[in-house]
């Protein structure tokens, strides 16, 4: 029996990953939300490749100077269409698999597990970060399994390497943003509330990231450096806001004089498009990322529990002395 325990310990996840990440990784790889999309995307990728071989080269990848990171128009039929292969990759890895995050926080909140977790050395950030890294990692693992198909497309010819790199980074960064939003929405009770919050998150994300990126592309006449800097600013902002929303929902104590933390994050989602638009206008269409990064930092520090400094000593306990009993 001891040999069996040693065998499992040698093949277990390393301790440096952290307890929360190890727990979620074990559970995530056993869920059907990983295996079924993983198998399904392989079948869809083969079908997409067969369809591409039957299409004209001009219809598979239509050239555009605006083919940059987080340009979602490249996944849809039109002037920027990138072919059926990227439709499959985008639908599964960018949209379908991150939706698994809608199930993650509910299991902790409904059963009260978050209270037990927060009694350990784990912080609220560590709890939501572990869940985020697992769902995002599963998306990236599934996406990496499509590398052989991308190599086949490259050797057959007719594809633009730079454009395909932009599409790959769009899937990588976009899946992280969407996974963070799904985890944040999963912290609300009821499927209706979760759908509404996720819808608000997606609308805020599109309205906040789209104008700065479009304005920068219009000034540069291409998807240049400012376009991509704005895209990275949007990724930072909405990844943080999604995780901050989930973090705000597992706060154990909210004082009567405080605004409910989750409603603060919802308010930030509503105001972020206006702040990003103002930053875009002030910087003459170049650096809307300033507003995006600023709102991401606001979300980061919006729900901070006041703590005393480490050098402050705790007051002496004021315990009433029991009355002297007669002898």
Please state, for a pLDDT cut of 70, what percent of the chain lies above it. Answer: 78
- The more confident residue out of 274 and 119 is 274
Question: Tell me: the pLDDT tens digits for 70-84?
Answer: 999 989 887 888 888
Say which residue, 296 or 324, is predicted with more confidence. 296
- The pLDDT of 95-105, averaged and rounded, is 85
**For 310-327, how does the pLDDT look when each residue is reduced to its tens digit (9 = 90+)?**
777 777 777 777 776 666
Q: Extract long-range pairs of 40-47: CB within 8 Å, 24+ residues apart.
A: 40/92, 41/88, 41/89, 41/92, 41/93, 41/142, 41/145, 41/146, 42/145, 44/88, 44/92, 45/85, 45/88, 45/89, 45/146, 45/149, 46/149, 47/84, 47/88
| pLDDT number for residue 8 | 41
Residue 216 confidence class, pLDDT cut points 50, 70, 90: very high
Distance CA 48, CA 146 (A): 12
Average predicted confidence (pLDDT) for the chain: 83
pTM of this structure: 0.84
């Amino acid at each position: 029996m001891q040999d069996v325990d040693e065998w499992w310990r040698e093949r277990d996840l390393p301790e440096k990953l952290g307890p929360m990440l190890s727990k979620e990784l074990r559970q995530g790889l056993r869920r059907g939300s990983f295996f079924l999309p993983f198998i399904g995307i392989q079948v869809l990728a083969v079908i997409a490749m067969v369809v591409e071989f039957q299409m004209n080269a001009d219809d598979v990848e239509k050239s555009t100077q605006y083919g940059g990171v987080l340009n979602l128009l490249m996944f849809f039929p039109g002037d920027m269409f990138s072919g059926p292969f990227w439709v499959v990759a985008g639908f599964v890895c960018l949209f379908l698999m991150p939706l698994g995050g809608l199930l993650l926080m509910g299991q902790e909140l409904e059963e009260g597990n978050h209270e037990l977790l927060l009694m350990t050395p784990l912080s609220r950030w560590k709890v939501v970060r572990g869940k985020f890294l697992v769902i995002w990692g599963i998306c990236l693992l599934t996406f990496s399994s499509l590398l052989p198909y991308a190599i086949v497309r490259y050797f057959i010819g007719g594809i633009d390497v730079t454009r395909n790199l932009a599409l790959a980074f769009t899937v990588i960064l976009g899946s992280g943003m969407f996974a963070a939003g799904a985890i944040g929405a999963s912290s609300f009770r009821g499927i209706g509330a979760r759908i509404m919050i996720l819808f608000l998150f997606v609308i805020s994300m599109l309205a906040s990231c789209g104008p700065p990126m479009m304005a920068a592309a219009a000034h540069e006449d291409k998807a240049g450096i400012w376009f991509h800097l704005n895209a990275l600013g949007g990724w930072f902002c909405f990844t943080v806001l999604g995780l901050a929303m989930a973090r705000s929902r597992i706060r154990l104590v909210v004082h009567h004089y405080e605004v409910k933390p989750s409603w603060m994050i919802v308010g930030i989602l509503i105001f972020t498009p206006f702040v990003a638009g103002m930053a875009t206008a002030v910087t003459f269409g170049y650096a809307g990322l300033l507003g995006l990064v600023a709102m991401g930092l606001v979300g980061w520090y919006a729900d901070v529990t006041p703590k005393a400094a480490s050098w402050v000593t705790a007051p002496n306990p004021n315990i009433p002395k029991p009355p002297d009993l007669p002898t």
